[in-house]
Amino acid sequence: MASPLLPTFFTLYQVFDEHAGADGKKATLDKKEVKTLMKKELPNLLKGNPDGQKLLMDFDGDGEIDFKEFMITISCLACFFKLAFANGLKPLF
Protein backbone atom coordinates (compact mmCIF):
# COMPACT_ATOMS: atom_id res chain seq x y z
CA MET A 1 0.00 0.00 0.00
CA ALA A 2 1.38 3.39 -0.99
CA SER A 3 1.98 6.01 1.64
CA PRO A 4 -0.52 8.89 1.59
CA LEU A 5 2.20 11.39 2.55
CA LEU A 6 3.95 11.71 -0.82
CA PRO A 7 0.73 12.43 -2.74
CA THR A 8 -0.07 15.02 -0.07
CA PHE A 9 3.09 16.93 -0.98
CA PHE A 10 2.06 16.99 -4.62
CA THR A 11 -1.44 18.12 -3.68
CA LEU A 12 0.03 21.05 -1.76
CA TYR A 13 2.25 22.03 -4.72
CA GLN A 14 -0.72 21.75 -7.08
CA VAL A 15 -3.05 23.82 -4.91
CA PHE A 16 -0.47 26.59 -4.54
CA ASP A 17 0.49 26.57 -8.22
CA GLU A 18 -3.12 26.47 -9.41
CA HIS A 19 -3.96 29.65 -7.52
CA ALA A 20 -0.61 31.48 -7.61
CA GLY A 21 -0.50 31.51 -11.40
CA ALA A 22 -3.77 33.40 -11.89
CA ASP A 23 -2.04 36.80 -12.18
CA GLY A 24 0.96 35.54 -14.16
CA LYS A 25 3.30 35.70 -11.13
CA LYS A 26 3.52 32.00 -10.32
CA ALA A 27 5.83 32.30 -7.30
CA THR A 28 3.42 34.16 -5.03
CA LEU A 29 -0.24 34.54 -4.08
CA ASP A 30 -1.59 38.08 -4.14
CA LYS A 31 -4.66 39.14 -2.12
CA LYS A 32 -7.12 38.13 -4.82
CA GLU A 33 -5.46 34.74 -5.27
CA VAL A 34 -5.47 34.15 -1.50
CA LYS A 35 -9.17 34.90 -1.39
CA THR A 36 -9.88 32.52 -4.28
CA LEU A 37 -7.73 29.78 -2.73
CA MET A 38 -9.39 30.12 0.65
CA LYS A 39 -12.87 30.17 -0.86
CA LYS A 40 -12.22 26.99 -2.85
CA GLU A 41 -9.94 25.01 -0.53
CA LEU A 42 -10.84 26.13 3.02
CA PRO A 43 -14.28 27.75 2.82
CA ASN A 44 -15.18 27.10 6.45
CA LEU A 45 -12.14 29.07 7.60
CA LEU A 46 -13.41 32.17 5.80
CA LYS A 47 -16.22 32.68 8.28
CA GLY A 48 -15.40 35.91 10.09
CA ASN A 49 -12.33 36.32 7.88
CA PRO A 50 -13.77 37.10 4.47
CA ASP A 51 -10.56 37.90 2.64
CA GLY A 52 -8.43 35.07 4.06
CA GLN A 53 -5.50 37.42 4.62
CA LYS A 54 -5.43 36.90 8.36
CA LEU A 55 -4.93 33.16 7.93
CA LEU A 56 -2.19 33.08 5.31
CA MET A 57 0.80 34.71 6.95
CA ASP A 58 2.88 37.25 5.06
CA PHE A 59 6.01 36.94 7.19
CA ASP A 60 8.23 39.26 5.16
CA GLY A 61 5.52 41.90 4.73
CA ASP A 62 5.85 42.14 0.95
CA GLY A 63 2.08 41.92 0.47
CA GLU A 64 2.17 38.47 -1.13
CA ILE A 65 2.37 34.87 0.07
CA ASP A 66 5.24 32.76 -1.27
CA PHE A 67 5.33 28.96 -1.10
CA LYS A 68 7.34 28.93 2.13
CA GLU A 69 4.83 31.23 3.83
CA PHE A 70 1.99 29.09 2.48
CA MET A 71 3.56 25.91 3.85
CA ILE A 72 4.26 27.45 7.26
CA THR A 73 0.61 28.49 7.44
CA ILE A 74 -0.62 25.03 6.37
CA SER A 75 1.66 23.41 8.97
CA CYS A 76 0.34 25.71 11.69
CA LEU A 77 -3.25 24.92 10.69
CA ALA A 78 -2.50 21.17 10.79
CA CYS A 79 -1.04 21.55 14.29
CA PHE A 80 -4.02 23.62 15.38
CA PHE A 81 -6.53 21.06 14.11
CA LYS A 82 -4.59 18.15 15.64
CA LEU A 83 -4.67 19.86 19.04
CA ALA A 84 -8.25 21.08 18.69
CA PHE A 85 -9.62 17.69 17.63
CA ALA A 86 -7.74 16.02 20.48
CA ASN A 87 -9.57 18.40 22.81
CA GLY A 88 -13.02 17.75 21.44
CA LEU A 89 -13.45 20.24 18.60
CA LYS A 90 -15.65 18.80 15.90
CA PRO A 91 -14.33 19.01 12.33
CA LEU A 92 -15.55 21.99 10.29
CA PHE A 93 -15.79 19.88 7.15
Q: To the nearest whole angstrom, how small is the minimum distance from the Cβ of residue 47 to Ca ion? A: 24
Task: Identify which of residues 42 and 69 has a Cβ nearer to Ca ion in the complex.
Answer: 69
For Ca ion, the closer CB: 41 or 58: 58
Q: Does 23 bind Ca ion (CB under 5 A)?
A: yes
Give how many residues touch Ca ion by CB under 5 A: 6
Q: Does 62 bind Ca ion (CB under 5 A)?
A: yes
Backbone φ, ψ for residue 58 (5° rounding): -95, 80
Other CB atoms within 10 A of residue 28 CB: 19
Say how far apart CA 37 and CA 20 lie, in whole Å.
9
Any idea what DSSP says for residue 42?
Answer: -
